[in-house]
């Protein structure tokens, strides 16, 4: 497979087709296809914050160790924002660290982009609409019909909405929604508006390194600097997903001065 960014669905050698929730496609991937696992090699998979929470918990690692062992940081095109991709193994095929001959060893907790394929998540890279387009809240997707993928020769038909349910992406998208919004918002800024290095560090911390973000919130002066009610403090201490969503709101306030995050007087 050509080196492509599975998060954006924008491969160099193919022309992705724009899809809405009711568009149909024929596809099925299973162990019987001759290309099985070939798409888990030589590919750039950008991880969302919730992907990292699922994977690091599955592997029993703190977030900083997961990031160090399994990811490569880089900047997302046209956003000036740090993202992390799954690291390739150092083999000839640049295999994903989680692929084996009989499939993915983290399948139940596989990243959002792996769930979506053969759809690309369009929201982050193509939110801007052209003349006559409508940019509704359902977002839109790209269908990527790659010639090497034998899944397109199978018989099963799906709508985009059915595929999303089957692959369990709704919960991922729901949890990541405010983070996605941050990226889209930054992407819409003129390129000369740059974030400070400190702002990028905070974005990385709250987006990807949840265990150190928890320490930052509860073991620094953070809680004395913002109006955070006791119920919220208790909730985010106990619930990692709530902490993640809280982090997205905080990032929105420090990066864009938006939302209801209030500093103490
Ligand atoms: S059928 Fe497509 S998605 Fe399935 S393993 Fe082959 S290339 Fe990957
Ligand atoms: S995480 Fe699993 S599904 Fe995704 S590329 Fe790696 S092995 Fe394949």
pLDDT tens per residue across span 166-177: 999 999 999 999
Domain boundary among 140, 156, 174: 174
* Closest alpha carbon to 177 in 216, 220, 138, 119: 138
Burial class (CB in 10 A: 0-12, 13-18, 19+), 248: buried
Q: Are residues 50 and 142 in the same domain?
A: yes
Poorest-confidence range of 113-122, 131-140, 224-233? 131-140
132 has pLDDT over 70: no
- Retrieve residue 110's tokens: 């596989």
111 has pLDDT over 60: yes
How many domains is the chain partitioned into structurally?
A: 2
What is the reported pLDDT for 14?
53
- 148 in Cβ contact with 35 (< 8 Å): yes
- 9 in Cβ contact with 122 (< 8 Å): yes
Q: Which helix (H) or strand (E) holds 204?
A: helix 197-208
What whole-number percentage of the chain has pLDDT above 70?
87
What is the reported pLDDT for 55?
98
Q: How far is the CA of 182 from the centre of ligand 2 (A)?
A: 26
Q: Are residues 187 and 146 in the same domain?
A: no
136 has pLDDT over 90: no
Nearest protein Cα to ligand 2, atom 7: 99
- 138 in Cβ contact with 20 (< 8 Å): yes
Distance CA 153, CA 132 (A): 34
- 208 in Cβ contact with 49 (< 8 Å): yes
Q: SS3 of 83, please? A: strand
Domain boundary among 174, 195, 212: 174
Q: Are residues 111 and 158 in the same domain?
A: yes
What is the reported pLDDT for 135?
42
Q: SS3 of 73, please? A: strand
Q: Are residues 63 and 93 in the same domain?
A: yes
Nearest protein Cα to ligand 1, atom 8: 39
pTM: 0.88
Query: Cα–chain-centroid distance for residue 98?
Result: 17
Residue 170 within any structural domain of the chain? yes
Q: Are residues 102 and 185 in the same domain?
A: no
Residue-wise pLDDT for 14-70, tens only, equals 567 888 889 999 999 999 999 999 999 988 899 999 999 999 999 999 999 999 999
Domain boundary among 146, 174, 202: 174
Q: Which residue has the higher pLDDT, 152 or 131?
A: 152
Q: How far is the CA of 239 from the centre of ligand 2 (A)?
A: 26
> Which residues have CB under 6 Å of ligand 1?
29, 33, 35-39, 117, 149-151
Q: Are residues 27 and 118 in the same domain?
A: yes
Q: Are residues 43 and 99 in the same domain?
A: yes
- Residue range of the domain that includes 239: 177-255
Residue 9 within any structural domain of the chain? no
Distance CA 256, CA 250 (A): 10
Q: Are residues 76 and 167 in the same domain?
A: yes
Q: Are strands 17-19 and 141-143 parallel, antiparallel or unpaired?
A: antiparallel
152 has pLDDT over 80: yes
133 has pLDDT over 50: no
């Amino acid at each position: 497979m050509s080196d492509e960014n599975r998060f954006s669905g924008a491969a160099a050698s193919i022309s992705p087709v724009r899809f809405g929730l009711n568009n149909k496609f024929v596809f099925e991937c299973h162990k019987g296809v001759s290309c099985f696992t070939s798409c888990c090699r030589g590919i750039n998979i950008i991880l969302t914050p919730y992907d990292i929470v699922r994977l690091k918990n599955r592997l029993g690692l703190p977030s900083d160790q997961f990031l160090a062992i399994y990811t490569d940081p880089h900047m997302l095109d046209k956003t000036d924002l740090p993202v992390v991709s799954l690291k390739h193994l150092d083999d000839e095929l640049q295999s994903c660290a989680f692929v084996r001959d009989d499939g993915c060893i983290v399948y139940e907790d596989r990243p959002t982009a792996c769930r979506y394929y053969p759809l690309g998540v369009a929201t982050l890279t193509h939110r801007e609409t052209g003349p006559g387009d409508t940019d509704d809240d359902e977002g839109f997707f790209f269908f990527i019909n790659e010639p090497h993928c034998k899944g397109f020769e199978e018989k099963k038909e799906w709508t985009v909405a059915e595929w999303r349910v089957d692959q369990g992406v709704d919960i991922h998208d729901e949890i990541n929604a405010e983070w996605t919004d941050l990226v889209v918002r930054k992407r819409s800024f003129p390129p000369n508006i740059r974030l400070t290095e400190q702002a990028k560090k905070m974005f990385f911390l709250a987006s990807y390194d949840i265990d150190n973000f928890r320490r930052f919130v509860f073991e620094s002066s953070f809680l004395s600097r913002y109006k955070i009610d006791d119920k919220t403090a208790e909730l985010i201490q106990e619930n990692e997903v709530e902490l993640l969503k809280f982090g997205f709101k905080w990032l929105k306030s420090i990066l864009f001065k938006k939302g209801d995050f209030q500093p103490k007087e």
